[in-house]
């Protein structure tokens, strides 16, 4: 389970929670320009734009969970286990495997509009990286400085939806998430006057009662509603530190606490990490479940015209500042 969002206040930001019960050794990875990708369709691909994001590396191949490019386009893959359907290769289409999609899009598109053009010829294939590494069932959020879209591989083909709320979670499909929001039209960050009955003068007894009914559980539907409400009503100063901090506050409002959500296999689902990407300043910020201090990494400090990936190990041990 995961949550992704876009935030535009001065600079443009893209963030996500990765909610997972196990770790795959994820790291922050920078892919330089013109990096060689040997695609499963038998061709070779070299990216125009450098990429930075979280993922794992195998045989010098970056498997990104989310990333952004130096042009200001961001993308995340989120779990979509019930609905995701990948296709057999099709002639006349760009046959791309799901694990190849993020560097393929971000490596050559600078905007959502350019990404849409690439998606018109895209066929997400059912070819895994290898026999010991099956494909993850995913859908994707793509954002730039102006807009966001959601891309879902369905049985009938690729479904592309505008995302006016700049939020995405998991199942069910995105069109249901949009429809479901209509149940919460009455919610407000302000206390509301009594409309229950004219027979007596009932009063609110605490602040925050305008949002009574906002779901608080960790299901994907509830996280979508809660993240949308909090994002839409969030405000902060137009400074880097204030905006980055606010993105993390919104993500914290839909994070997983260890022990509060148990999978069907008895494992404890947690927010393994949260991240925020400054699409203008080319910065990647993250914190982990066990280290709540925000760590900042600059894309521009890596060798963007090199031939090798730049990999940063995560700082997972809690960092405490002595205030005495």
Beta carbons of 225 and 184 less than 8 angstroms apart: yes
* Radius of gyration in angstroms for the set of CA atoms belonging to the chain, rounded to a whole number: 20
250 DSSP 8-state letter: H
Active centre residues (catalytic): 2
Residues 6+ apart with CB under 8 A from 214: 184, 187, 225, 226, 229
Lookup: tokens for 264:
């069907």
- The values of phi and psi at residue 101, to 5°, are -65, -45
Residue found under tokens 């879902």: 152
E strands in 70-197: 74-79, 94-96, 122-124, 138-143, 148-154, 157-162, 167-168
Tokens of 111: 């905007």
**Which are the contacts of 227, defined by CB distance < 8 A and separation ≥ 6?**
3, 5, 167, 169, 250, 251, 253, 254
């Amino acid at each position: 389970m995961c949550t992704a969002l876009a935030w535009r206040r001065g600079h443009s930001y893209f963030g996500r929670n990765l909610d997972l019960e196990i770790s795959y050794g994820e790291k922050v990875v920078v892919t330089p320009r013109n990096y060689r990708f040997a695609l499963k369709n038998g061709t070779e691909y070299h990216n125009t734009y450098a990429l930075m994001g979280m993922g794992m590396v195998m045989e010098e191949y970056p498997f990104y969970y989310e990333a952004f490019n130096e042009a200001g386009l961001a993308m995340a893959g989120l779990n979509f286990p019930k609905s995701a359907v990948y296709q057999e290769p099709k002639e006349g289409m760009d046959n791309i495997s799901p694990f190849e999609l993020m560097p393929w899009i971000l490596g050559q598109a600078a905007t959502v509009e350019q990404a849409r053009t690439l998606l018109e010829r895209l066929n997400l294939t059912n070819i895994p990286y290898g026999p010991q590494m099956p494909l993850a069932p995913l859908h994707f959020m793509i954002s730039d400085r102006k807009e966001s879209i959601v891309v879902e591989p369905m049985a009938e083909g690729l479904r592309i939806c505008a995302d006016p709320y700049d939020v995405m979670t998991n199942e069910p499909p995105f069109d249901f998430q949009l429809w479901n929001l209509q149940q919460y039209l009455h919610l407000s960050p302000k206390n509301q006057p009594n409309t229950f009955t004219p027979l007596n003068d009932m009063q609110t007894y605490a602040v925050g009662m305008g949002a009574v009914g906002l779901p608080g559980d960790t299901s994907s539907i509830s996280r979508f509603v809660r993240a949308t409400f909090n994002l839409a009503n969030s405000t902060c100063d137009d400074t880097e530190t204030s905006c980055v901090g606010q993105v993390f506050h919104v993500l914290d409002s839909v994070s997983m606490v260890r022990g509060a959500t148990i999978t069907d296999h008895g494992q404890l689902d947690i927010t393994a990490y949260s991240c925020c990407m400054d699409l203008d300043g080319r910065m990647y910020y993250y914190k982990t479940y066990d280290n709540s201090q925000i760590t900042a990494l600059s894309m521009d400090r890596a060798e963007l015209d090199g031939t090798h990936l730049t990999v940063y190990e995560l700082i997972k041990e809690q960092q405490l500042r002595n205030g005495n």
